Amino acid sequence: MKQIIIQGIRGKMGRALCERIEGRQDCRVLAGIDLSAGQEGAIPVVSSPSDLPAGGDVVIDFSAPEASMRLLEYCVAHSLPCVLCTTGFSEEQKAQICQASEKVAVFQSANMSLGINLLAELACRAAKKLGLDYDIEIIEKHHHNKVDAPSGTALLLADAINASVDVPYTYVYDRHAVRKARDVHEMGLHAVRGGSIVGEHEILFCGQDEVITLSHSAASRGVFANGAINAALFLCGKPAGLYTMRDLLED
């Protein structure tokens, strides 16, 4: 049975992880990391990775970029695999993640849902087939507490499309100050924040007289929790490297 550590254990995703792990026979939660130390039920919670008990097999991180960087330092020092589910990393932080992956196994995905990663594959196929005759716009919707925009998932989808075409698109996040016709090499990314929306993503392929829409809607955080747990178990025993959802799906 694998021993999992959860950073951000008192957040909504941390609690969703605990609920899903509780019903499994192949893993358990050893400890949690959060701003305030104490107990989360029977699970010990520490405020710093340096206070973690020994015996962890892998860490799942649903926190904030700064906390993720501190966690990575600990993981490298203790040869502990890490699943990064946090989004909103700066370019400098992304470089640090790559450096850490040279010394320890790191799994990173902006979205842990199988459906979202399938959506990315479908979007790539559509972009190749439809070409520049269809304008591409991505709309993402999340709860009002989400701080990064556009979402990491929207960028995941946009980056996947860009990697599949010959001439990459330029991302446009705001059109209110622009007074000109849309360029065929633009891709619009739009963020909606409101209420308790778990996560909705739409990719619009807008052509002459028709619009093709690919979409994904998450009904609960459980779908992301399941993906993160499966990624954590996949990562146990893996050599140093940067792994993605594609590696998990192909395993």
| Beta bridge pairs of residue 28 | 3
pLDDT at 44 over 90: yes
Looking at residues 202-221, what average pLDDT do you find? 95
pLDDT at 203 over 90: yes
- Would you mind telling me the total number of residues written for the chain in this entry? 251
Write out pLDDT tens, residues 231-244: 999 999 999 999 99
Q: Which has the minimum average pLDDT: 49-58, 155-164, 171-180?
A: 171-180
Q: What Rg value do the Cα atoms of the chain yield, rounded?
A: 19
pLDDT at 219 over 90: no
Q: Return the pLDDT at 207.
A: 97
Q: Return the pLDDT at 217.
A: 94
Looking at residues 153-157, what average pLDDT do you find? 94
Percent of the chain with pLDDT over 70: 100
Q: Is 143 marked active-site?
A: no
| Active-site position among 2, 142, 201, 216 | 142
pLDDT at 177 over 90: no
| Active-site position among 12, 78, 103, 146 | 146
Q: Return the pLDDT at 110.
A: 83
3-state helix, strand, coil split of the chain in percent (to 5) is 35, 25, 35
Q: Are 215 and 202 in contact (CB under 8 A)?
A: yes
User: What residue has token string 């998990």?
Assistant: 248
Task: Residue 182: name the closest of 169, 165, 167 by CA.
Answer: 169
Provide the 3-class DSSP secondary structure of residue 108.
Answer: strand
Q: Return the pLDDT at 178.
A: 81
Write out pLDDT tens, residues 88-135: 899 999 999 999 999 999 999 888 888 998 999 999 999 999 999 999
Looking at residues 39-63, what average pLDDT do you find? 95
pLDDT band at 251 (very low <50, low <70, confident <90, very high): confident
Q: Is 146 marked active-site?
A: yes
- Go through the domains of the chain in sequence order and give each one's CATH number: 2-112+221-250 (3.40.50.720), 114-217 (3.30.360.10)
Average pLDDT, the chain: 94
Paired sense of beta strands 43-46 and 27-33, if any: parallel
State how far the alpha carbon of 106 is from the alpha carbons of 139, 160, 231, 243, 247, in Å: 29, 20, 10, 6, 12
